[in-house]
Structure 1
Amino acid sequence: MAVAPVAAKAEQPDFHPFDEARAAIGQLLFYDPILSGNRNISCATCHHHDTFSADGLSLGIGEGGRGIGTRRTAGAGADAIRKRVPRNAPGLWNIGAVEFETFFHDGRVSVGGDYGTGYVTPAEEWLPRGLPNLLAVQALFPLTAQFEMAGNTGENEVIGAVQDRIDLGWPILAKRVRTIPAYGTALAEAFDLRSPEDVEIGHIAIALADFMNSEWRSFDSPYDLWQAGQGTLTPAQDRGRALFFGRGNCASCHGGPLFTDHGFHALALPPFGPGRTRRFDPIPRDVGRMAETDDLEDAYRFRTPSLRNVTLTGPWGHNGAYPTLSGIIRHHADPVAALDSWTPDLARLPAADWLGSIDFVIQSDTREMARVRQAVDIRPVALSDGDVADLVAFLQALEGGESRYGRLGVPDAVPSGLEVER
C-alpha cells in the first residue's frame, strides 16, 4: 500500500518586533472612526474581531455603509455608497511575519528601492520616511482610499487633500489624532517624543502595525498540535493532508508555515463588481498584478493568500466569488469549467439597487471574459466529491484555537468618543 506523503514540519515564521504600549494605542486607533475622512468608518469595519479580521462579504462596503459583517448595508440617501470596494477584505492572520514582502491582492505595496524609501507604494517618493516595516507602510493606504475610508469628493478636507496628492491627507489625520489629549499624550510617551505636537502619521502607522502584528498570530490549530505530537487529525483531515501535499498539488502555491508562496497567480475567477480600473481604463475590470507592473505577463494574477484560519474568512477569492470552501476548491480543480458554471447569486453583496447595472456588467463583455478564461496558471486536477470534502476537512485543521479570537480584542470605547462598531 502506498504511503501518504507527509509534509515537512512547519516552523513558525519570524515576526517583526512590536512594542506593547504602541500596540495598545494601535488597538484604539484600529477601532476609531477618527482616521476616516467623515469620521464614520474605522479599520475594524472591514477587519472586525467578530468576523475574525475579515468582513464576511464578497466585496466590502466602505464609506457610507452601516453596520459590520454580513449585517452591513450600503447606506441610504445622501450617505449611500457610490461604489463597492473592488476587492474582498482579506483576513489579517500573521501579517506581521517578516516573510511578507507584498501586501494587497495586487501587491501594490511592496519592499523595494525604486523611490528611495525602501518601499514601492502608490505614494512613490512621498511616502513618510522612517517606517520600520511593510506592515506599517500598508496601514497608511486604506486611509487615503476614497471608497474605503477617505470619503467622496467634497465631503471633507482629507479627501480634498488626497485628490491633490496622496500624501497630503495624512498630516490632517495626524493632527486630528494628536489633538485628542489621550492619544497625543500616549503616543508621545510611547515614541519618546518631546510633546504631542511631534506626533506624525508615521507614529500612527507604526501603532496600527504593532497592533495588527501582535493581535492576529495563530499557530494553535489541530494541524500544529498534530505536528508537535500533541494531537491527532481526524481520518478525513489526514486524507485531506495527504491530498493537499500530494496529488492535489495544493502545496505548490500554498506551502510553508503560512501556506502561501507570496506569489501571483491567474485562476480565472469570475469577475464582477466595479473592478479596479486604471485611469485610462474605462471598463469595470480587474487585471490584478498587471495594474501595478504594466507587464502583460501579470494580467489577471493575484497574490496567493495564506490558508491559516481560511475557514473563518470567507467568502473566498480575491473578489469573494465563492461562499463555500468546497466551491473555491472545485474552482482550483478546474478553473475554466468553474468560471463557465458560476452564477451571480453566489456573490455575497449587500443590496444596492443603484449599483445593479454595474455589479455584473463585465460578464456580458465577451472579449474580457475570453481574456480571463485564457489566463490560467494552474492545471486541472481530478477531484471526487470525497476528495473535496477531505480537503475542506484539512483546511478546518488549519483553524486556530483560542488564537482565532485575537489578543486584545475590541475596546470598550475610543478616545475620540466616536462609536465603536459592534
Structure 2
Amino acid sequence: PGNPDIKYYYPTNDLITAPEILFFWVARMIIAGYEYMGDKPFRNVYLTGLVRDQYRRKMSKSLGNSPEPLELIEKYGADGVRVGMMLCSPAGNDLLYDDSLPEQGRNFANKIWNAFRLVKSWKVDDAISQPEYCSIAVKWMNEVLKKAVAETDTCFRKFRISEALMVSYRLFWDEFSGWFLEIIKPPFKSPVDRQTYNAAITVFDQLLRLIHPFMPFITEEIWHMLEERKEGESLMISRMPETRKADRKLTDQFEYVKEIISSIRTIRADKQIPRDEKIELLIKQNGDDFYSEYIPVIVRMAGLSRAEIVTAKQEGTASFMVKTTEFYVPLGSKLDTESERTRIKTDLDYYRGFLESVMKKLNNEKFMMNAPAEVKELEMKKKNDAETKIRSLEEALKLLEKSQS
C-alpha cells in the first residue's frame, strides 16, 4: 500500500479486454480491488471483438486465414494497417477483416500526402488580395472543422473509436480535399494570396492533430514539414483542437450551395459539355432560401461565365430546383427537349406523391392534436415547399411545350 507506483497508477481509468474473460478475470480484478485496496481498479471496461475473416470465421493458424502482420505493414504501411483495422471494428463487435481495408488505409495516407504536396507547391504572392470565393471557403472550412472536432470529442468520450476515425476520414477526404482545396487552389502557374495560404496551412495543421491518434507516423512526418518547428516539438505531445461551437447556419447554407454545384455538374455530364467550357446560370428566386453571397463559389466551382438573378422562367434551358429556387442553364442547340420533358414529369410525379403523403398527416385529426408544434410546423413547411415546386415544374413544362409549338 505504501508503494508510490501503486498510489500513482491505482486506480486507473480504462481496461481494454475481451468479453470472454469478463467473468473469469475482470470481475475477479474488481472484487480483489475492493478487498485489498478499498476501491475499484478501473472506471471503464472497453470490450474488443474477435478478429474474423470475410466469411465470419475466427482467425486461426490451423485454418490458415490469419495474415502475417509484418507482411501487411510492409505492403500497406503501419498507418494503413491501423486504419484498416479500425475501419472494420465498430465498438464491441467482431472485426471482419479483409485485405481491401488496409488498402483503403494506405489510399487515405496517399490522399493526405498528395494534399500536402499540393498545398506546399503553391507560390505565395503577398501583393495580391484574397478573392471573395477564398474568403467564403475559409470561413466555411473553419466551421466544418469546429463541427468535426466536437463530433470527434463526443465519439472519444463514448469510446466510439471507429466512428471518431470516420469523422476525420470524411472531413479530410470530402470536405478538405474535395471542396476546400478545390475552391482555393490558384489557377495553373498562378500564385495564391498570403491570407488564403496561411488559412490552408492552419486548417491542415488542425486536421493532422485530429488524424494523429489513428495515423501517428505519416501525420508526425507531414506536421514537421508543414511549418518550421522548434527543437523537441512533436505532434504526439501537441494539443488536440479545442471544442468550440460551430455556426450550423453557415454549414447548412454551404450544403445547399454544394447541391447547386452538383446539379450543374450533372447537367454538364448529361449534355457532354467540356469542363473548360464556360456556361451561364440564371437564378429565379421563389422565396428567401437562396443565398446570393455564395455566388462567387458557385461560379468558381461550376465553371460559369456568370450567374444572374432573373424574375421570369427561361426558355431553351436545362432547369433544376434546390429547395424553392429555380436554376436555369442556357443550352441552345444542346437542349434535348424530350429528355427534359421526361425529367420534369418524373419530378412532378415525385413531388405530387410527396405532397399527398404530407397532406395525409395534416388531415389526420389525431396527428394534429398530439404532434408537437415544431413537428406540425415542419410538415406545413414541407407542404408549402412541395406546392411551390409543383407550380414551378408545371410552369416549366408549359414553357417547354410552348417553345416547341
- TM over 0.5, shorter chain: no
Q: Which of the two has greater helix per residue? A: 2
The structure with the largest alpha-carbon Rg is 2
TM-score grouping bracket, smaller chain normalisation: under 0.3
TM-score by length of 2: 0.25
Larger relative CO (CA 8 A, sep 6+): 1 or 2? 1
